[in-house]
A and B are shown apart, each in its own frame.
Chain A
Amino acid sequence: MAPDALVPPPSFTLDIPAVAAIGGAPLYLTNDDALLLTVFNGAAGVTVTISGRTLAFGAKHPTTFKRTLTPATNRTASTLNLNLGDGWLLNCQVVVTAGTPLVGQTWARVSLVRGLTSIADEHFVLVSDTVTQNKAAAWPSGAVKGTIDGAGAIRSVTGTDPAAGSECSDTVPAGARWRLHAWTVSLVTSAVVANRSVGLTIDDGANILFQNSDGFSQTASLTVRHCFGEALGNFGNPGVSVVGMLPGVMLLIAGWRIRTVTQAIDAGDNFGAPQLLIEEWNEAP
């Protein structure tokens, strides 16, 4: 009788291709696992689509999956859970399929969680990055990037038009980080005789961090455009427009304000709505 060592062991190999031959980066998932898609978005009309390929346990050919998510437009977290069943996740990607967000306005993260409830344990992040119609966040080829990595979205924001006698003030919204490149507003002064001095002020919601005047004293019954820009010196054509200086890099987080503090402002003086040139990121805490 042949020794046991010469008897071939029984084969338990499934009749499927080796997962390595299927492509992608096989990641085994059980039926208790799920992919969690989390999106922070500040743009209008955006739909993101997550799609990919899986190889179900026992299957011979990969299958595809695709789901969409319409994220909130106020930079709050929007989520979607996908249970893919027992098998291997081969690859996946998130891309914008409706809307035209700029780079920096829509950020997506795909992570592996155990369970399908909102309190499912998150085990690790597969990929996270900003997404647009032409820029996907893909696994396994992509990277894990934060919400403020890379360039922000260049935006022109119209601020609040204050009532007569009031100051301008605009607040960085929740979930956003701004870089202020330029700011401008028009001030119409009343007939009351006084020398108004417009100061652009940055505060953290309570404490003043920066304040600069454009150095122009605006007298009665004048309409003057006041502009502030990065690293500019004070100059201008008094009576038409005047320019003041902003620091070279003025970064602001949620709750911080860009506002005027005007010496000798009269109850009849009237600012228009300021216009802000900003670079914006989602800042998901």
Chain B
Amino acid sequence: MLKCQSCGATYEPIQRDGSQYFHACAPLSRSELKAAVAAGKIKLPKGETVDDAHARRTYERPNKRDENLKATRGKGATEIKAEGAGAVELEP
């Protein structure tokens, strides 16, 4: 079991059938967007509420991790899309 250091999610990199799983961080939830706006990290358009903003567009997580490969051939086949803050293995 791994824990993503960018979003705090946990996941199994190997599925029960033995195949690989590639984690990618979710966009910000409404509560995360609200916290980011309150902290001044994200500025909303004038007059727009967090609920409006959350319904209207997708806010990707800063330093997002995306383990999916860039390509299926060549150099991109060995590189993940975004390292983010990395992932750590959890104690079983």
Contacts and interface: CB of A to CB of B under 8 A. Distances in A.
A179 to B, nearest CB: 16
Contacts of A261: 54-55
B11 A76 contact: no
Interface stretch (A51-59, A123-131, A164-172): A164-172
Contacts of B71: 76, 174
Chain B binding surface, main DSSP class: loop
A155 B20 CA distance: 12
Contact of A173 (B9, B10, B22): B22
A169 B24 CA distance: 7
Interface string A88-106: 0000000000000000010
Most-contacted residue by chain A among B15, B30, B70 (CB, 10 A): B30
A166 B29 contact: yes
A166 B68 contact: no
Contact of A77 (B54, B70, B77): B77
A160 B9 contact: yes
Interface in A62-119: 72-77, 105
B27 interface: yes
Contact of A43 (B10, B18, B30, B51): B18
B68 A161 contact: no
Interface string B7-31: 1111110111111111111110111
A264 B19 CA distance: 35
Contact of A166 (B8, B15, B19, B73): B8
A165 B70 contact: no
A208 interface: yes
Interface in B28-80: 29-32, 35, 51, 54-55, 58, 66, 68-73, 77
A171 B22 contact: yes
A255 B22 CA distance: 11
Contacts of B29: 165-167, 262, 265
Interface range for B: 35 or more
B27 A163 contact: no
Nearest to B10: A161
A105 B17 CA distance: 12
B30 A171 contact: no
B2 to A, nearest CB: 10
A212 to B, nearest CB: 14
A166 B7 contact: yes
A242 interface: no
Given A40-B72, A285-B72, A168 B26 contact: yes
A110 B60 CA distance: 42
* The 5 nearest A-B residue pairs measured at CB: A44-B18, A169-B26, A163-B8, A76-B77, A175-B72
Interface of A: 40, 42-45, 72-77, 105, 155-163, 165-171, 173-175, 203, 206, 208, 254-255, 257, 259, 261-267, 269, 273, 284-285
23 contacts: A43-B17, A44-B14, A44-B19, A45-B18, A77-B77, A155-B15, A158-B21, A160-B4, A161-B11, A162-B9, A162-B26, A166-B29, A167-B26, A169-B27, A173-B69, A174-B70, A255-B68, A257-B24, A262-B29, A262-B30, A266-B31, A267-B31, A285-B72
